Amino acid sequence: MEVTTIEPAPESVAPVAVEPAPAQTVAEPYIVSCQIGLGPIETYWSDGSVTGYSDYCQAQHDNVLAAEVAANSRVCDGTVCRSPSGAVMPDPNTVPTTRPYPTEDESFIETCMPKAGQTREVCIQQIQEGIDAGTVRVP
């Protein structure tokens, strides 16, 4: 007689759910700096890339520009203009005052009379002759 062995049937194993490995998340690049100064907008990113415009760098640029304008804005009073640095220059919007014609300028005539020992009328005549001859300059 031959002996046969029967092997037991394998036990049924409940399926185990295998979760997929978590996907590696790539961090989204962020701004690390902007170009300094007033040149074109350049944005430097954390991944090493450089691009042009970004809202953030545009805002930084606008703030720098506003500060530069404020630092160089002069305040004028009709006679002189003063800058924040303390520099002073003539006010370019000042309307130049015209000096009166020498024959209408009382101080000019009054100066002539004692020097020449002349009357007012003689001084006016001499002033007019000097203007005509080119020896008295009209402002």
90-134 confidence digits (pLDDT tens)? 888 887 665 555 556 666 667 766 666 777 788 778 778 877 777
Q: Is residue 14 part of a domain?
A: no
Asked which of 70, 90, 110 is the last residue of a domain, the reply is: 90
Q: How far apart are CA 33 and CA 43, in angstroms?
A: 6
Asked if residue 102 and residue 73 are part of one domain, the reply reads no
Buried b (16+ CB within 10 A) or exposed e, 76-96: eeeeebeeeeeeeeebeeeee
Q: Is residue 60 part of a domain?
A: yes
pLDDT bin (cut points 50, 70, 90) of residue 4 is low
Q: Which tokens sit at 89?
A: 């220059």
Domain count, the chain: 2
Write out the residue range of the structural domain in which residue 43 sits.
Answer: 31-90
Asked if residue 103 and residue 82 are part of one domain, the reply reads no
Q: Is residue 79 part of a domain?
A: yes
* Mean pLDDT rounded to a whole number for the chain: 78
Q: Is residue 109 part of a domain?
A: yes
What confidence score (pLDDT) does residue 122 get?
80
Asked if residue 102 and residue 80 are part of one domain, the reply reads no
**Cα separation values, 129 from 15, 63, 111, 126, Å:** 125, 64, 16, 5
**Cα separation values, 85 from 71, 74, 75, 82, 91, Å:** 8, 9, 11, 8, 16
Asked if residue 74 and residue 114 are part of one domain, the reply reads no
Q: Is residue 65 part of a domain?
A: yes
